[in-house]
A and B are shown apart, each in its own frame.
Chain A
């Protein structure tokens, strides 16, 4: 079984001067290729902190994180940027589209930051249009974010996360801002992506959302607390 990502005894401390906040206190978890994991747990348990580390937005205080064969915990800031660009697709709770860009331009953003700054070819653009089609927005390519509903914006974000064909897709409460009907639509898209073989790691508070994933892990006070839909 090949691993997409592997976290070994990872710690993340925030030194606030007077106190040290231990957000992660030794987390180990493996993510096989094609995995679909929901991370659950109470507020402040360290879910987002873990996801940020998985996304190479930050380096752990201690511990090892292997992604696509790289030991991310050792890389420089510029290397981390390259890793994020090539190996990771982010989906945020609040969509985070760029306001001044159209749907198509938003999907293209990660292409701007490819290592070596390759110019965007017409093939690249066609790929972006294909992705827009996959998430059901082929007729909205020229719209701006403010002209779209929340669900539609999140679809754009999903297409954007896919554009560089990442190793893992990270989603922090991707349906947190959506109604239950839209939630189902978005989860259908994610399930479809997973069926195509994509590795998805998602943080959620909703059991209905977590149920879509293959497995569910629970966090508590910066540690892994258990696995399964209804942990004991």
Chain B
């Protein structure tokens, strides 16, 4: 048959009549029709949900990267693996590694680098009144505030003159203020850190923690930070950069001049190029030492985009398969329906129905099933974020709590917000209708090709 003749099905009056006829037939077996539809509902829902999760995961990754700054290059001191430490030093009490002041000077002169921001941080205990808190003591320059997207709650951040004067001044983060001061106003008060007294000059607002990125960069909870001038930290707290720690009775010490140097680059175009120069420069000064990692958010952004592609393909095809399974369910039921309604088909043929009329009838029925299922699936798909919240609540309570799953995947799971990409709605719905056509055509043709006389004789 010429496929073009099916175009007459789309005459509005005829379409309305076909739909009414199809609904009557489908409503005759409500449970069966409902169950058949369910296959498509779940298929469409899972397509949308999977794409939403993929999208959520990738925006999460992108946001992380953007928080680090697209024009930044991060040089991070890492304790080198045992075998690469300098053998001539032997096993020493003080482990010496990482970025040096010299590195800072060299990196700062790279032409595309706008500024280089050094940090030295140590774990410490802060005390005020009778209360103590394990905090992170961060020695930094005034630029730190802007580069890490901090914002002020009260007071001010550190200034250049604080550094020049080796001032004993500190800016504390949200949690530190809350834990140590409760309802008191911290401004002007003095806290004790490493037996030294610091006057609070400012408090920063709550900032969402940044997640770890691969193995290069661990997550950071900015809310337990105490910021002091880098110069103060280097001279008064850990002279020479040696940080002595007592762990289960034995002492260990690390000599690290700087923990991190954040480089800001003129514009995004030259980030990757500059990163190469930075890597070369560091390799020259730390030959074979592997004690500095260079993390480039821009590179991570590219990886995140690749990740999204893979995510969408893998999850999308799993969901698509479930949609196909739904289609097979429809086909199965329609074949049974055709057998069951053989007599009806014979009667319609006797009353003047052409083969194309029978095809139209059964095709409309499958399309109503798959289309309605598709619509319900789209509505459910829109609820993916809420559904995800609920599942996450359960999972947090029963599975992830205190288990090993709290790693990278767990963090991704707990922090991700699925977002339904709007293009996925027509896509999934279109697929469901297409599946109705594809899987409905065979049963419909089987019905149309029945011999009228034999169909009429069918018991």
Q: A residues bordering B, Cβ < 8 Å?
A: 52, 55, 57-58, 77-78, 81-82, 84-86, 90, 92, 96, 98-101, 105, 109-110, 112-114, 117, 119-120, 160, 164
Q: In the complex, what distance in Å separates the CA atom of A84 from the CA atom of B351?
A: 6
A58 in complex: contacting residue of B13, B348, B354, B453, CB < 8 Å: B453
What is the chain A residue whose CB lies nearest that of B346? A96
What is the chain B residue whose CB lies nearest that of A117? B14
CB distance from B33 to the nearest CB of A (A): 12
CB distance from A39 to the nearest CB of B (A): 17
> Which B residues, 342 to 365, have Cβ-Cβ distances below 8 Å to chain A?
343-344, 346-357
Q: A92-B456, A119-B13 are in contact. Are A113 and B352 (CB under 8 A)?
A: yes
Q: In the complex, what distance in Å separates the CA atom of A113 from the CA atom of B352?
A: 6
| Cβ-defined contact, A78 with B355, below 8 A | yes
Q: Is B25 interfacial (CB-CB < 8 Å)?
A: yes
Nearest first, the 3 closest Cβ-Cβ pairs linking A and B are A85-B352, A113-B352, A119-B13
Q: In the complex, what distance in Å separates the CA atom of A92 from the CA atom of B343?
A: 12
> Which B residues, 11 to 50, have Cβ-Cβ distances below 8 Å to chain A?
11, 13-14, 17, 21, 24-25, 27-28
What is the chain B residue whose CB lies nearest that of A144? B28
| Cβ-defined contact, B28 with A99, below 8 A | yes
What is the chain B residue whose CB lies nearest that of A53? B453
Q: A100-B24, A100-B25, A100-B28 are in contact. Are A90 and B350 (CB under 8 A)?
A: yes
Q: In the complex, what distance in Å separates the CA atom of A57 from the CA atom of B347?
A: 11
Q: Which of B25, B350, B357 counts the most A-chain CB atoms under 10 A from its CB? A: B350
| Cβ-defined contact, B350 with A84, below 8 A | yes
CB distance from A25 to the nearest CB of B (A): 19
CB distance from A100 to the nearest CB of B (A): 4
Q: In the complex, what distance in Å separates the CA atom of A110 from the CA atom of B348?
A: 8
> Which B residues, 320 to 361, have Cβ-Cβ distances below 8 Å to chain A?
343-344, 346-357
Q: In the complex, what distance in Å separates the CA atom of A119 from the CA atom of B13?
A: 7
| Cβ-defined contact, B453 with A52, below 8 A | yes
In the complex, 22 of the A-B residue pairs with CB atoms within 8 angstroms, ordered by the A residue number, are A57-B350, A57-B452, A57-B453, A81-B349, A81-B354, A84-B351, A86-B352, A96-B350, A99-B344, A100-B25, A110-B352, A112-B17, A112-B21, A112-B357, A113-B352, A113-B353, A113-B357, A114-B352, A117-B14, A119-B13, A119-B14, A120-B17
Q: A113-B357, A117-B14 are in contact. Are A84 and B352 (CB under 8 A)?
A: yes
| Cβ-defined contact, B348 with A113, below 8 A | yes
Count of A-B contacts with CB under 8 A?
74
- Please tell me the number of chain B residues within 8 Å of chain A, measured between CB atoms: 27
Give chain A residues whose Cβ lies under 8 Å from the Cβ of B25: 100
Q: Is B8 interfacial (CB-CB < 8 Å)?
A: yes
Give chain B residues whose Cβ lies under 8 Å from the Cβ of A110: 351-352
| Cβ-defined contact, A109 with B453, below 8 A | no
A160 in complex: contacting residue of B346, B349, B351, B353, CB < 8 Å: B351
What is the chain A residue whose CB lies nearest that of B448? A77
Q: B residues bordering A, Cβ < 8 Å?
A: 8, 11, 13-14, 17, 21, 24-25, 27-28, 343-344, 346-357, 452-453, 456
CB distance from B345 to the nearest CB of A (A): 10
A57-B350, A57-B452, A98-B344 are known contacts; what are 15 more A-B pairs with Cβ within 8 Å?
A: A57-B453, A57-B456, A78-B354, A78-B356, A84-B352, A96-B347, A96-B350, A98-B347, A99-B344, A110-B351, A112-B21, A112-B357, A113-B348, A119-B13, A160-B351
What is the chain B residue whose CB lies nearest that of A157? B347
Q: In the complex, what distance in Å separates the CA atom of A82 from the CA atom of B356?
A: 12
Q: In the complex, what distance in Å separates the CA atom of A110 from the CA atom of B350?
A: 9
CB distance from A52 to the nearest CB of B (A): 5
Q: In the complex, what distance in Å separates the CA atom of A90 from the CA atom of B346?
A: 12
Q: In the complex, what distance in Å separates the CA atom of A12 from the CA atom of B357?
A: 28
CB distance from A108 to the nearest CB of B (A): 10
Give chain A residues whose Cβ lies under 8 Å from the Cβ of B24: 100-101, 105
| Cβ-defined contact, A55 with B350, below 8 A | yes
| Cβ-defined contact, A117 with B348, below 8 A | no
Q: In the complex, what distance in Å separates the CA atom of A81 from the CA atom of B345?
A: 13
CB distance from A143 to the nearest CB of B (A): 15
| Cβ-defined contact, B355 with A96, below 8 A | no
What is the chain A residue whose CB lies nearest that of B354? A81
Q: In the complex, what distance in Å separates the CA atom of A90 from the CA atom of B350?
A: 7
Q: A119-B14, A119-B17 are in contact. Are A113 and B351 (CB under 8 A)?
A: yes
Give chain B residues whose Cβ lies under 8 Å from the Cβ of A96: 343, 346-347, 350, 456
Q: Which of A77, A84, A100, A101 counts the most B-chain CB atoms under 10 A from its CB? A: A100
| Cβ-defined contact, B453 with A117, below 8 A | no
CB distance from B344 to the nearest CB of A (A): 6
CB distance from A47 to the nearest CB of B (A): 14
Q: In the complex, what distance in Å separates the CA atom of A86 from the CA atom of B354?
A: 13
| Cβ-defined contact, A113 with B347, below 8 A | no
CB distance from B35 to the nearest CB of A (A): 18
Give chain B residues whose Cβ lies under 8 Å from the Cβ of A101: 24
Give chain B residues whose Cβ lies under 8 Å from the Cβ of A98: 344, 347-348
Give chain B residues whose Cβ lies under 8 Å from the Cβ of A81: 349, 352-355, 357
B351 in complex: contacting residue of A99, A109, A120, CB < 8 Å: A109
Q: In the complex, what distance in Å separates the CA atom of A166 from the CA atom of B452?
A: 19
Q: In the complex, what distance in Å separates the CA atom of A135 from the CA atom of B306?
A: 74
Give chain B residues whose Cβ lies under 8 Å from the Cβ of A85: 351-352
Q: In the complex, what distance in Å separates the CA atom of A55 from the CA atom of B13?
A: 29
Q: In the complex, what distance in Å separates the CA atom of A113 from the CA atom of B354?
A: 8
What is the chain A residue whose CB lies nearest that of B13? A119
Q: In the complex, what distance in Å separates the CA atom of A99 from the CA atom of B353?
A: 17
Give chain B residues whose Cβ lies under 8 Å from the Cβ of A52: 453
Q: A112-B17, A117-B8, A119-B17 are in contact. Are A77 and B351 (CB under 8 A)?
A: no
Q: In the complex, what distance in Å separates the CA atom of A164 from the CA atom of B349?
A: 15
Q: In the complex, what distance in Å separates the CA atom of A101 from the CA atom of B353?
A: 16
Give chain B residues whose Cβ lies under 8 Å from the Cβ of A57: 349-350, 452-453, 456
What is the chain B residue whose CB lies nearest that of A97? B347
Q: In the complex, what distance in Å separates the CA atom of A99 from the CA atom of B343?
A: 11
Q: In the complex, what distance in Å separates the CA atom of A98 from the CA atom of B352?
A: 14
| Cβ-defined contact, B27 with A100, below 8 A | yes
What is the chain A residue whose CB lies nearest that of B21? A112
Q: In the complex, what distance in Å separates the CA atom of A112 from the CA atom of B347?
A: 13
Give chain B residues whose Cβ lies under 8 Å from the Cβ of A160: 351
What is the chain B residue whose CB lies nearest that of A163? B351
CB distance from A55 to the nearest CB of B (A): 7
